[in-house]
């Protein structure tokens, strides 16, 4: 299992800043994806589905504000601005465009990490109503990307975790193959039902062998999957 818990997309054209961010984020157990231009950023945001974006407003090809607008057209991913622009008007404009936070360069690594963790926690609460979800023996920490079954930490790959997170957030609902594939893998994989079947099997094996209860993930033949609500199953 890749131990990196959250993927952060860093969009910054300053090479020295990129090197510093790599050191800081690696030490803090984040998975770093970096790029130097706005056009690269738009492609990587779609392909990597980051958990958080760190964005410098001064890019060589387009203004960072255009990246905020582009991301907000399809995603609620937390965006933290890292910029040498310290004027109040720049801060207010970025926040009004949809950025979640604004950190002025130069900055303390500890302060940046605190802002990142705060944004990740707020994002988890916004998505699921709370930073941790429990369904019977299953517990998923949405901030640290950790999965527990009967309080035992279970190793999940990043893609397995993203699939499980989607299922537990929508527990009790029937989810079609296409909806799951588009949400977890993206539009380009909307018809890869066999791919999804393999990952569902892997998750079931990891949960079921530790839980001691019937499988929480139910197959809706020809339609999709549903994660049962453990409280209802116990009735």
At residue 45's C-alpha, the angle toward residues 76 and 165, to 5°, is 55
Q: Where are the domains of the chain?
A: 6-128, 132-233
- Pairing mode, strands 224-227 and 217-220: antiparallel
What pLDDT was estimated at residue 1? 42
DSSP the chain: -----EEEEEE-S-HHHHHHHHHHHHHTTEEEEEESSHHHHHHHHHHH--SEEEE-SB-SSSBHHHHHHHHHTT----EEEEES---HHHHHHHHHHT-SEEEESS--HHHHHHHHHHHHHHHHHHHHSSSEEEETTEEEETTTTEEEETTEEE---HHHHHHHHHHHHTTTS-EEHHHHHHHHT-GGGTT-HHHHHHHHHHHHHHHHHHH-SS-SEEEETTTEEEEPPHHHHT-
The Cα-based distances of 180 to 144, 170, 215 in angstroms read: 22, 10, 19
Q: Please, what is the end-to-end C-alpha distance for the chain in angstroms?
A: 36
Answer whether CATH 1.10.10.10 is correct for domain 132-233. Answer: yes
What percent of the chain has a predicted confidence (pLDDT) above 90? Answer: 74
pLDDT in tens, 86-116: 999 999 999 999 999 999 999 999 999 999 9
Which band of pLDDT confidence, cut at 50, 70 and 90, is reported for residue 191?
confident
> Residue range 160-181: average pLDDT?
94
The pTM for the full model equals 0.80
pLDDT for residue 233 is more than 60? no
> Domain 6-128 maps to which CATH number in 3.20.20.70, 3.40.720.10, 3.60.20.10, 3.40.50.2300?
3.40.50.2300
């Amino acid at each position: 299992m890749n131990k990196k818990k959250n993927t952060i997309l860093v969009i910054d054209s300053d090479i020295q800043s990129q090197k510093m961010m790599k050191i800081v984020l690696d030490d803090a157990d984040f998975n770093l994806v970096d790029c130097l231009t706005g056009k690269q950023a738009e492609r990587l945001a779609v392909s990597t589905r980051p958990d958080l974006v760190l964005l410098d407003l001064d890019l060589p090809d387009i203004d960072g504000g255009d990246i905020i607008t582009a991301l907000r057209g399809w995603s609620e991913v937390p965006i933290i601005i890292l910029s040498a622009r310290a004027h109040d008007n720049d801060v207010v404009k970025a926040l009004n465009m949809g950025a979640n936070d604004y950190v002025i360069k130069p900055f303390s690594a500890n302060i940046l990490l605190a802002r990142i963790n705060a944004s990740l926690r707020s994002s988890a609460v916004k998505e699921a109503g709370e930073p941790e979800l429990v369904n019977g023996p299953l517990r998923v920490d949405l901030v640290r990307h950790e999965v527990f079954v009967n309080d035992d930490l279970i190793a999940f790959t990043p893609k397995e975790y993203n699939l499980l997170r989607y299922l537990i957030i929508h527990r009790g609902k029937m989810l079609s193959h296409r909806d799951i594939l588009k949400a977890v893998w993206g539009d380009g994989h909307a018809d890869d039902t066999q791919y999804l079947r393999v990952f569902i099997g892997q998750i079931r094996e990891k949960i079921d062998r530790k839980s001691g209860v019937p499988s929480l993930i139910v197959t809706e033949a020809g339609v999709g999957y549903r994660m049962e609500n453990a409280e209802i199953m116990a009735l």
